[in-house]
């Protein structure tokens, strides 16, 4: 990471803590490596992201339905999917100090790897270390009760394919969408919320006839690029990596990685993978249950193929923050220069849609009116009422959390300067800092048009 990128990342992390986006999990107990909490602003950002994904991919599409599967599933699922056997990183143990490390990340001296904890060279041969978190569901800690926390949400959609097909009466092509938590015992969690041990996914399994798989992979790549554009990450900022033959999973005929340039480097936001019939066939074989589709028109039974657009909630949220973060030099009314920090979020995903201020807090008529404006908007969008401090400082606070609009109730609003501007307010735009005068009656429609 360049020094500049590092400074930028530090500023982002500091802002996220200071403004209530992201905290270390269990911070007062020293935190927990690889686990994060979302504060008041972070939870709204994530909600907006997930809700828009759901609306775009489930509600607005006739060919998609949602589901919400349990995090803990029958262990047989992970045997069938191959995760129990192969979802692992290579590890070595140090025989001297008993520490465990990733074999491919060991430091070397004179070409010989050594233990970064104690310096010892007496290391075991590399062994596969499974990344699934284990637990036991049931009264005894034995093999019968062994379960895993899912390392991806996808498998529930394959396992429930038949139930969903039958109850939703969909025809191919159609998809299942799911948002939920997943867990991976990363040996080295890193890059803030980018690679953590607990994370959230937004995944689609789009089922189709075999001959449509490749074309639909390109179709979904395009859909996903549009999605990122619609939440404020321009197409030009997404690097598309067409994974070449020989580097894809053996069952995949096509895989695109969608990458974003974070301050810590270019990293994957999402994968769009054509997984053929690998998953359904594996579950059909292991469960002994039929998972075929019968095509009424062609009178033909077959195992559907699947295209999987799989995105990470946390890393998308981080990309949104990184993309939105900006600093600019501004001059205040007294001619002093200062740095304005802004999160230039798309209004659709901004945690707070509108800040609402009385010009002065010691003037009851202003306060009362501003509170009434806030109360009228509150059922329809996240608003923030603020009466503390100079109006300029209140704007800056909203800039820092990315609020696209601020409304100020002043003496014109309450008719103290004559009747012409009564019941109008100042609407201030975050990015341009420009202000306009609009009637309160039109406020809700105006804001909703911008944030929907």
> Of 159, 157, 147, nearest to 84 (Cα)?
147
Q: How many residues are present in the chain?
A: 452
State the angle between helix axes of 443-451 and 364-377 in degrees (0 to 180), rounded to the nearest 10. Answer: 50
- Whole-Å CA distances, 168 to 119, 160, 162, 178, 294: 60, 12, 10, 15, 15
Site string for a copy of itself, 99-128 (x = CB under 8 A): -xx---------------------------
Give the integer Cα–Cα distance in Å for 36 and 32: 8
Site string for a copy of itself, 197-216 (x = CB under 8 A): xx------------------
* Contact with a copy of itself (CB under 8 A) among 6, 7, 14, 33: 33
Nearer to a copy of itself, 5 or 133 (CB): 133
- 43 touches a copy of itself (CB under 8 A): yes
* Contact with a copy of itself (CB under 8 A) among 95, 98, 121, 393: 98
Concatenate the DSSP letters of all residues of 110-179 into one string.
TTEE--TTT----BPPPEEEE-SPEEE-SSS-SGGGEEEE-S-SHHHHHHTHHHHHHHHT--SSEEEEEE
* Contact with a copy of itself (CB under 8 A) among 7, 10, 116, 136: 136
Nearer to a copy of itself, 106 or 133 (CB): 133
φ, ψ of residue 27 in degrees (nearest 5): -55, -40
Question: CB of 111 within 8 A of CB of 142?
Answer: no
Closest approach, Cβ 333 to a copy of itself, in A, equals 24
Among 4-12, 39-47, 237-245, 294-302, the segment contacting a copy of itself (CB under 8 A): 39-47
* Contact with a copy of itself (CB under 8 A) among 3, 4, 30, 441: 30
Query: Residues binding a copy of itself: what is the number (CB under 8 A)?
Result: 88
- 69 touches a copy of itself (CB under 8 A): yes
Nearer to a copy of itself, 25 or 252 (CB): 25
Nearer to a copy of itself, 98 or 301 (CB): 98
State which of positions 276-305 bind a copy of itself (CB under 8 A): 283, 286-287, 289, 291
Return the sign of the alpha-carbon dihedral for residues 8, 12, 15, 17.
negative
State which of positions 139-168 bind a copy of itself (CB under 8 A): 139-140, 147, 149, 156, 159-160, 162-164, 167-168
Among 51-59, 202-210, 300-308, 417-425, the segment contacting a copy of itself (CB under 8 A): 51-59
Nearer to a copy of itself, 201 or 217 (CB): 201
Read off the DSSP letter of residue 191: T
Give the integer Cα–Cα distance in Å for 410 and 360: 8
Among 134-142, 233-241, 339-347, 433-441, the segment contacting a copy of itself (CB under 8 A): 134-142
Question: CB of 197 within 8 A of CB of 186?
Answer: yes
* Contact with a copy of itself (CB under 8 A) among 335, 379, 418, 419: 379
* Contact with a copy of itself (CB under 8 A) among 236, 388, 441, 445: 388
State which of positions 301-360 bind a copy of itself (CB under 8 A): none
φ, ψ of residue 264 in degrees (nearest 5): -85, 5
Write the CB contacts of 105 (distance below 8 Å, at least 6 apart in sequence). Answer: 188
- 68 touches a copy of itself (CB under 8 A): yes
Give the integer Cα–Cα distance in Å for 151 and 131: 8
Read off the DSSP letter of residue 382: -
Nearer to a copy of itself, 77 or 319 (CB): 77
Closest approach, Cβ 286 to a copy of itself, in A, equals 8
Question: In the beta sheet, which residues pair with residue 258?
Answer: 240, 270
């Amino acid at each position: 990471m360049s020094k500049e990128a590092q400074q930028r990342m530090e500023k982002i992390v500091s802002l996220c803590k200071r403004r209530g986006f992201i905290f270390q999990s269990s911070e007062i107990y020293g935190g927990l490596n690889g686990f994060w909490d979302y504060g008041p602003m972070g939870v709204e950002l994530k909600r907006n992201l997930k809700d828009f994904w759901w609306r775009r991919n489930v509600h607005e599409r006739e060919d998609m339905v949602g589901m919400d599967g349990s995090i803990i599933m029958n262990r047989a699922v992970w045997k069938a999917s191959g995760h129990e056997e192969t979802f692992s990183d290579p590890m070595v143990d140090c025989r001297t100090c008993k520490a465990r490390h990733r074999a491919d990340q060991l430091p070397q001296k004179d070409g010989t790897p050594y233990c970064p904890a104690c310096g010892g060279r007496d290391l075991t041969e590399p062994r596969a270390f499974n990344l699934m978190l284990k637990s036991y569901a049931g009264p005894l800690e034995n093999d019968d009760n062994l379960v895993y926390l899912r390392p991806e949400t996808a498998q529930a959609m394959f396992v429930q394919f038949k139930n969903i097909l039958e109850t939703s009466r969909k025809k191919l092509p159609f998809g299942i969408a799911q948002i939920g938590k997943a867990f991976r015992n990363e040996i080295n969690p890193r890059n803030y919320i980018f690679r953590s041990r607990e994370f959230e996914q937004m995944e689609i399994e789009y089922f189709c006839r075999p001959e449509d798989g490749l074309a639909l992979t390109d179709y979904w790549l395009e859909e996903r690029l549009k999605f990122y554009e619609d939440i404020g990450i321009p197409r030009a900022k997404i690097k598309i990596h067409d994974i070449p033959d020989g580097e894809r999973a053996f069952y995949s005929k096509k895989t695109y990685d969608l990458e974003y340039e974070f301050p810590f480097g270019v990293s994957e936001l999402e994968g769009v993978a054509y997984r053929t019939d690998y998953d359904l066939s594996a579950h059909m074989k292991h469960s002994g249950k039929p998972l075929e589709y019968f095509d009424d028109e062609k009178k033909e039974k077959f195992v559907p193929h699947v295209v999987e657009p799989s995105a990470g909630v946390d890393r998308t949220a981080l990309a949104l923050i990184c993309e939105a973060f900006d600093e600019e030099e501004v001059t205040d009314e007294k001619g002093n220069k200062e740095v304005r920090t802004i999160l230039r979020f798309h209004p659709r995903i901004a945690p707070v849609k509108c800040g609402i201020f009385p010009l002065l807090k010691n003037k009851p008529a202003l306060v009362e009116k501003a509170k009434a404006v806030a109360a009228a908007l509150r059922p329809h969008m996240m608003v923030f009422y603020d009466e503390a401090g100079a109006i300029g400082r209140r704007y800056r606070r909203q800039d820092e959390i990315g609020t696209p609009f601020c409304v100020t109730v002043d003496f014109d609003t309450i008719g103290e300067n004559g009747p012409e501007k009564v019941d109008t307010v100042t609407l201030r735009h975050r990015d341009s800092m420009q202000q306009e005068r609009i009637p309160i009656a039109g406020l809700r429609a105006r804001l909703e048009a911008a944030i929907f």
